[in-house]
Amino acid sequence: MTSFQIALLSLAAILVLVYGGLHVPVAFCLVSLVGIWAIKGNLDQALSLLGMAANDAVASYDFGVIPLFVLMGLLVSVADLGRDAFVSANILLGRIRGGLGIATVGANAIFAAVTGVSIASAAVFTKVAVPEMIRLGYRPRFAVGVVAGSSVLGMLIPPSLLLIVYGLLSQQSIGDLFLAGIIPGLALAFIFVVMIVAFAVFRPGMVYEQGVVAQEPEAAGSIWDALVLLAPLVLLAVGVIGGIYAGWFTATESGAIGALGAFVIAAMRRRLTWAGVWKVLVETGQVTVVILFVIIAANIYTRLIALSGLAGVLSDAVTAANLGAFGLMLIYTVIVLLLGTILDGVSIMLIMVPMFLPLLAPFNVDLIWFGIMTVLAVEVGLLTPPFGLSVFVIKGTLDDPRITIGDIFRGAAPFALAMVFLLAVIALFPQIATILVK
């Protein structure tokens, strides 16, 4: 069996193992070990190569940015800033038709500017927004759909954990990627808002329970109250993101500044106990270990791909097929969307990015634009069955047996379609993602 055949067989083996229920990084490591052993013909050499790959994968100082931003996001959640963002957005936007839905989108956009983790947004706003919307006559399916759809803004609006991972994989500036994510992230939030208003005006049956008057409640509080509630979030976001763009500190250092700021805010609000601090630290460790384990496993698998010569064969095939950059990107996007039905975002990125970067090199594709396209395509997977990570987080957080997994998927479907629409627009007009970077 040739090295190329071993590489192809490894791809099939990974899909079979993952569909069979084996954890993604375990499947990667196991298949990589067997594949390199088959190519080298020496188990000791294969184990040694895998050990070096594991060390090289996360030895860089830059990877410190991951636990720091995760810690900051968890501290922000503990400080109850998500609830403050929702209350503020409701004061400012709640009187519009579909106002609570718009407030949820707005609050998620603000929350995303600090946390960068979609799962955190989904959990927070499931507790904060869904019960309030249902109490005021919104359809449960619409309420959970809005939360699921708007939660993905955390992976596009900076700081974004997926953009950080992509930057580390592609060796692109994390600051530039953050800058590039601003306009697409705000554009996606705007599309969600327009869609919600359109549903509330023209298809009220999709938004409100039957018989409920489509009249939004008066939000308690003034504009000044809203601004006071938003102040900690805005200051934290400006400090973290502004410091990177101003050149005061690196992305890793900004994560440390943000985590310290979030800790101070949580402590000043008396939301942190010693038990709470320990819980946050443990959760940070758990999330970080999962991400780093996947990064290590993917790095190990790239060694197998490099040894097999698969990338070179694929590159030659692409050249011979005369697909061009657009055709290659179309294939890439479709594969990412399909993988989103079974894998989480980080796993998809760690599989696809190292494999396609060499194929795109001859076409001089802007890797900042490619990163935004990748993250947006991966985000769609957070809302699509059967995996749909955000959907399962919402179901696990929501204490309401009346709302099924199917209800959440159906409620999130319009938002997933809106994301595919934006993906197509950015593919046709790359400057949407790159204009702030140039």
- Residue 41 backbone class (left: φ over 0; alpha: ψ -120 to 50; beta: rest): left
Handedness of CA 22, 25, 28, 30 (dihedral sign): negative
How confident is the model at residue 189, as a pLDDT? 92
Q: Do 140 and 134 meet the contact criterion of CB atoms below 8 Å apart?
A: yes
Helix (H) or strand (E) holding 121: helix 118-135
Q: Do 27 and 298 meet the contact criterion of CB atoms below 8 Å apart?
A: no
Residues of the chain with pLDDT under 50: 214-215
How confident is the model at residue 220, as a pLDDT? 57
Q: How is the chain split into domains, by residue range?
A: 7-434
How confident is the model at residue 219, as a pLDDT? 54
Q: What angle do CA 178, 104, 136 make, to 5 degrees?
A: 175
Cβ-proximal residues to 274 (8 Å cutoff; 6+ apart), any chain: none
- Per 3-state DSSP, the chain is made up of helix, strand and coil in percentages (nearest 5) of 80, 0, 20
- Assess whether the previous peptide bond of 184 is cis (omega < 30° from 0): no
What amino acid is encoded at 197 in this protein?
A: V
Taking the whole predicted model, whether its pTM rises above 0.85 is answered as no
